[in-house]
Amino acid sequence: EAGVTQSPTHLIKTRGQQATLRCSPISGHTSVYWYQQALGLGLQFLLWYDEGEERNRGNFPPRFSGRQFPNYSSELNVNALELEDSALYLCASSPRGVGAEAFFGQGTRLTVV
């Protein structure tokens, strides 16, 4: 069974540009979560989508946005990139159900220059 896949693996953008990161969840999983991990720091929760709806949002500015498609895949968009947006962006998915665990992809390394 395929795991959570993220693309691209690496992305280099210049300050002020927009970045789009993609995530395909494990088949049958309806929830997708996005996290940011800046170098040397912990995982910060960004966004949670379930059944196409945004369910919760972390403490990030509105230029971080996303969506979930009918096939449950998801996009994370970061507008007006700043240097401090350089980080590893991780996506996770989980199925419905009490206590369901989440599984992570390998991440997209975004570098803003």
Partner 1 sequence: DAKTTQPPSMDCAEGRAANLPCNHSTISGNEYVYWYRQIHSQGPQYIIHGLKNNETNEMASLIITEDRKSSTLILPHATLRDTAVYYCIVRVGSGSARQLTFGSGTQLTVLP
Asked whether position 105 contacts partner 1 by CB under 8 A, the answer is yes
CA–CA gap between residue 86 and residue 28 (Å, rounded):
31
Positive/negative CA dihedral, 105, 89, 39, 111 = positive
Q: Which is nearer to partner 1, 16 or 89 (CB)?
A: 89
State which of positions 73-92 bind partner 1 (CB under 8 A).
88, 90, 92
CA distances for 50 relative to 36, 60, 96, 97, 113, angstroms: 19, 19, 9, 12, 33
Look up residue 28 and give its two tokens: 């049958």
Among 26, 94, 110, 112, indicate the residue that binds partner 1 (CB under 8 A).
Answer: 94
The distance from CA 95 to its chain's CA centroid, rounded to whole angstroms, is 17
Which x/- pattern, by CB under 8 A, does the window 47-66 give for partner 1? Answer: -x-x----xx-x--------
Q: Which is nearer to partner 1, 3 or 16 (CB)?
A: 3
Binding site for partner 1 (CB under 8 A): 4, 31, 33, 35, 42-43, 45, 48, 50, 55-56, 58, 88, 90, 92, 94-107
